Chains A and B, each alone.
Chain A
Amino acid sequence: MSKRILIADDEQNIVISIEFLLRREGFEVLVASDGEEALAKVRAERPDLVLLDVMMPRMNGFDVCQALRADPDLGGTRILMLTAKGRDTEVSKGLGLGADGYMTKPFSTKELLAEVRKLLGM
């Protein structure tokens, strides 16, 4: 059974590239383009991993992360935060809120895949 991954990002082209990458590697991919949509899709589709952008309209990545971690039903959902703001404070904020990993844009596709696999225990 293939793992299910949600990509939450408001940048269309980034979504396209990651979606292509993950599908090629055999993952099942879901897409959300803002924070609220991401939260709704996690609850509805129960993905194994969420790739979460920080700067999103409506609800930013930190808030989504916090909401997910506050929901005990979703305890098994792994969260990998992606952000274009690479400052240390943001990294520690994300991890502090309960994210499982953190990657700074732009990233190498290989590293992204390695991180995804690690978080999914593959």
Chain B
Amino acid sequence: MLEAPVVVTVALVYLGLLFAVAWWGDKRADQGRSIIANPTIYALSMAVYCTTWTFYGSVGRAAVSGIGFLPVYLGPTLVMALGWFLLLKMVRIVKANRITSIADFISSRYGKSHRLGGLVTIIAVLGIIPYIALQLKAVSGTVSLLLSYPDIVMPDRSATMSVAADMSFYIALILAAFTIVFGTRHLDATERHEGMVAAIAFESSVKLVAFVTVGVFVTYGMYDGFGDIFEHIATHPELRRLVTAIPSGQGYTGWFSLIILSGLAVLFLPRQFQVAVVENVNEAHLKRAAWLFPLYLLLINVFVLPIALGGLLHFSGQAVDADTFVLTLPMSQRQQGLTLLVFIGGLSAGTGMVIVETIALSTMVCNDLVMPLLLRRKAAALEERKDLSGLLLAIRRGAIVVILLLGYLYFRLAGEAYALVAIGLISFSAVAQFAPAIIGGMYWRGGTRAGALAGLSAGFLVWGYTLLLPSFAKSGWLPADFLTQGLFGSELLRPQQLFGLTGMDEISHCLFWSSLANIGAYLGVSLLRPPLAAEATQATLFVDALKETGPVGAALWRGRAQVSDLRELVGRFLGPTRTEAAFAAFARRRGGKGAALEADAQLVQFAESLLAGAIGSASARVMVASVAKEEPLSLEEVMHILDEASQLRTYSRELERKSRELTAATRELQDANARLQELDKVKDDIMSSVTHELRTPLTSIRAFSELLRDDPKMHLADRERFLGLIVSETERLTRLINQTLDLAKIESGRADWNGCELDLKEVVEQSVAATSQLFREKGAHVELDLPDNLPLILADRDRLVQVMLNLLSNAVKFLPPGSGRVHVVLRALAEGLEVSVADNGPGIRAEDQALIFEKFRQVGDTMTAKPSGTGLGLPISRRIVEHFGGRLWVESAPGEGATFRFTLPYAGPAEPAAVAGNPA
């Protein structure tokens, strides 16, 4: 049983739950652990777009016009997908200027004009009130439906009842109380409401779940899936037209208008501006919202058509309003739980819209309508009040109550004249009037306050004449001939066929004329005169919002002020505690102490932005002007400063670039210098080594020569011996010079390499033959192990001979006289050919094995003489082998001889299969 107490209890418990979510959100925000700092929460909060109009009305519209409900969701989808940069720029502007509402936005753009802010507020309030009425109608309608459960009784439209007996009046009061608690709970009247956003995101989830659940129930519970419903429809000719094409009477013009209107609404409806722009905590959240919000719209639309068709089939011939199908279908199946869930979903959709919309509107009414009036008329009275934050909250609370009561009034007087959808579109058409002033203001510097006022007024008047007044006429407030015969009986002035324009639906008609008037007046009047200084200043802040700029605003203020005055002024609106904290934070950023703050342009700017967050930018400017003596700037001065600022920016960017280049150049120079020093040190070492190696043979040569010269009677045997030594030392010198030059050439990359395919076996044999004399002299035996038919390698023949000669002559030097044995082996490995030269000399200690490949490093093990040679043979050999892609190394242990090995890769593709395992 769903009796009144049950329904009321469920509704109140749900509202209590919402409040708990909001309270939790606020608490977390106070602790600095925001729950709305999350892109999904952000996207869900944007779904406040979906009101009862979506929840109940889409089905109603689908029942009349098939897929005609879709354009209202296509518009937002297109805007989110293609126009997100508009949203990004708006977010950037709002953050930078602490803008609190859409009225504040427009007013701020055109020089912080009170008149403009007030006009926008009036348009918004008048445009939105029908929309709020729509929510009251839907919520009260569903409550009365529920109360007759399980019977389905449509509310009696003609019955009149007293306000005291009207349930929607109490619903309006409850919502007002709830909104006051929600939106103006804080004593500090800041522009952000984290708890509210959390609750709205929660509501968006609830309404989606409820709607999808009904959709699944109808599609799969009452029918057998989508296909089944469409098959049923096919048997009803009068319903078939709903699913075949765009129904007649709407046409492509209608679709186009609805897409445009809804696309603008998702940006400029006060509640959308509130959640998407003002409450945005992180620009990056836009990225996810750009696809998540359209996805939400898609999901909540999937079951619209099945429910509408299912309802038409089920209630065929009964007097059941299609706007109620979402609720009446589960009721007809006696689904008590599901019915309650749907009711809660609808309640979510309605309360979500009402809460955010009234909070946004009340901020606008307070900051852009009431405050300016108070400032003008009761400036003296305001002066006397120490703390104005209470007054601010009282104004906002009053505004909330008034707005909701106006919504109720509209519902009572005109609400029954239209289906739900028509009411919503009237609101959409109203907020569309903001588009020229906002979009123009963000991209065109030439827009002026007068232009914006003219455009908004013209568009608003046309809207009122072509849409609002006809709705009054249809409700019986105005004579019906107003519609059919026009104002003063003039055919041309018929409100919905203005100047004879026919063939359009009323919404397209209004959009056409109002945008023509609006854009025309905005551009025309703006072009009449150049922007004033204040307009030019704000235009720069808005148009250049996405550029990397410093705070230009401060540069555009000139005057005198006292820190204490500013502090006191801000304190009156924000309260002393928050003010102290804000000023201290500002001082820290400036790098000074609280007492040392200077009342310069930046501080004035800061105080004004603090105030703007509480009372709107126009009022903030007036308040700051009351304590700070501003010397007004002329337009020339403003342009000069802006120009200078832009030059400064260019200059500083240039400087930064230069500085980066210089840093890079310095680093490169340091690196180069380090490399040079390294090279210098190496060169020094080499020079020192070369010098030593040159002086040593010269010493012997000089000594022997002088001995020979000074002693002409020297024995012949000594004489010949000395001359022989001189000759051999000369050869040593020559060899040293040649090898030093050779190595230098290889190392500097200037060596000539004559690479060709060659048979390594021939090279080895040739080298062994060339050194056979040396081996014979030492009485040593050379053993060769050189298999035939090995693959060719790619190398320079002479260079390889040089390597082999070096290895062989090294081996000879260390062989024990008489019993020396050298074993030369050539073998094929997987990666190439390997040559090894093994001797039975003294061997090389492990720690010396690396040394011998360094330049001029000779390792003598003998107690007698150091090895002859230049100390360059092995370093040169290693470089030659490495040049051809091979390796040269030594394996040895003291007393066990030494084996020098080198490898060279095959010339062509390796043929490991053919040669692998070929024994040495």
Docked-complex contact A33 and B707, CB < 8 angstroms: no
Interface residues on B, range: 20 to 34
- Asked whether any CB of chain B lies closer than 8 Å to the CB of A21, the reply is yes
A28 to B693, CA, bound (A): 29
A106 to B692, CA, bound (A): 10
- Asked whether any CB of chain A lies closer than 8 Å to the CB of B866, the reply is yes
Q: Which of A55, A57, A108 contacts B692 (CB 8 A)?
A: A55
Docked-complex contact A84 and B692, CB < 8 angstroms: yes
Which residues of chain B from 683 to 740 have any CB-CB distance to chain A below 8 Å in the complex? Answer: 688, 691-693, 695-704, 706-707, 710-711, 718, 722, 725, 729
Name the distance in Å between A14's Cβ and chain B's nearest Cβ.
5
Q: Which one of B88-96, B606-614, B771-779, B857-865 contacts A?
A: B857-865
Docked-complex contact A24 and B711, CB < 8 angstroms: yes
Docked-complex contact A14 and B696, CB < 8 angstroms: yes
What residues on B are CB-neighbors of A18 within 8 Å? 703
- Asked whether any CB of chain B lies closer than 8 Å to the CB of A118, the reply is no
What residues on A are CB-neighbors of B729 within 8 Å? 13
Docked-complex contact B718 and A106, CB < 8 angstroms: no
Docked-complex contact A106 and B725, CB < 8 angstroms: no
What residues on A are CB-neighbors of B699 within 8 Å? 11, 14, 84, 105-107
What residues on A are CB-neighbors of B711 within 8 Å? 24
Closest to A84 in B: B695
Q: Which of A12, A14, A57, A87 contacts B703 (CB 8 A)?
A: A14
What residues on A are CB-neighbors of B695 within 8 Å? 84, 86, 104-106
Interface residues on A, range: 20 to 34
Docked-complex contact B866 and A57, CB < 8 angstroms: yes
Name the distance in Å between B837's Cβ and chain A's nearest Cβ.
24
Q: Which of B688, B698, B865 contacts A106 (CB 8 A)?
A: B698
Known: A11-B866, A34-B863, A55-B692. A109 touches B698 (CB 8 A): no
Closest to B693 in A: A84
What residues on A are CB-neighbors of B702 within 8 Å? 106-109
Cβ contacts A42-75/B at 8 Å (1 or 0 each): 0000000000000101000000000000000000
Known: A16-B725, A17-B707, A20-B707. A37 touches B698 (CB 8 A): no
Docked-complex contact A10 and B860, CB < 8 angstroms: yes
- Asked whether any CB of chain B lies closer than 8 Å to the CB of A85, the reply is yes
A20 to B719, CA, bound (A): 12
Docked-complex contact B865 and A20, CB < 8 angstroms: no
Docked-complex contact A85 and B688, CB < 8 angstroms: yes
Docked-complex contact A14 and B700, CB < 8 angstroms: yes
Closest to A34 in B: B863
Name the distance in Å between B157's Cβ and chain A's nearest Cβ.
114
What residues on A are CB-neighbors of B692 within 8 Å? 55, 84-85
Q: Which of A21, A33, A87, A109 contacts B865 (CB 8 A)?
A: A33
Known: A18-B703, A106-B702. A11 touches B710 (CB 8 A): no
Closest to B728 in A: A13
Name the distance in Å between A102's Cβ and chain B's nearest Cβ.
14
A108 to B709, CA, bound (A): 12
What residues on B are CB-neighbors of A55 within 8 Å? 692
Name the distance in Å between B481's Cβ and chain A's nearest Cβ.
119
Docked-complex contact B710 and A109, CB < 8 angstroms: yes
* CB-based closest 5 A-B pairs: A17-B703, A84-B695, A13-B700, A105-B699, A106-B699
Residues on B facing A (Cβ under 8 Å): 688, 691-693, 695-704, 706-707, 710-711, 718, 722, 725, 729, 860, 863-866
Residues on A facing B (Cβ under 8 Å): 10-14, 16-18, 20-21, 24, 33-34, 37, 55, 57, 84-87, 104-110
Pick 16 A–B contacts, CB within 8 A, sort by A. A11-B699, A13-B725, A14-B696, A33-B864, A37-B863, A57-B866, A84-B691, A85-B691, A105-B696, A105-B698, A106-B695, A106-B701, A106-B702, A107-B699, A108-B706, A109-B707
Given contact pairs A10-B866, A16-B725, A17-B725, a sample of 19 additional A-B residue pairs in the complex whose CB atoms are under 8 Å apart: A10-B865, A11-B700, A13-B697, A13-B725, A14-B703, A16-B700, A21-B703, A24-B711, A33-B864, A34-B863, A55-B692, A84-B691, A84-B695, A106-B695, A106-B698, A106-B699, A108-B706, A109-B703, A109-B710
